[in-house]
Amino acid sequence: HKELSLNLFPAVRLDRLLVPDMVARGNGVVVHVTSIQRVLPLPESTTAYAAAKAALSTYSKAMSKEVSPKGVRVVRV
């Protein structure tokens, strides 16, 4: 749960706070920081970290499909 608290939930909370204003304006950019471990977990890392980054990546893609028609871009780096 610690990894979700650090690597997923803060992005979701910030998005819930900031994205509605971006949608209302019709523009904005959301940047989520993911990791290569979302698709290629490393043995010396934690499974929970890789899972949290995979969840963030999937969330970002879904959010992009929802808000991009409204002028807000969501990118993963």
> What is the pLDDT at residue 6?
85
CB 14 within 8 A of CB 60: no
Quick: pLDDT tens for 19-73: 999 999 999 999 999 887 777 777 776 888 888 888 999 999 999 999 999 999 9
Residue 75 contacts residue 31 (beta carbons within 8 Å): yes
CA 41 to chain centre: 18
Whole-angstrom CA distances from 42 to 1, 18, 53, 54, 77 are 19, 33, 13, 13, 18
- What is the DSSP-derived secondary structure letter of residue 38? G
> CB–CB of 34/60 below 8 Å?
yes
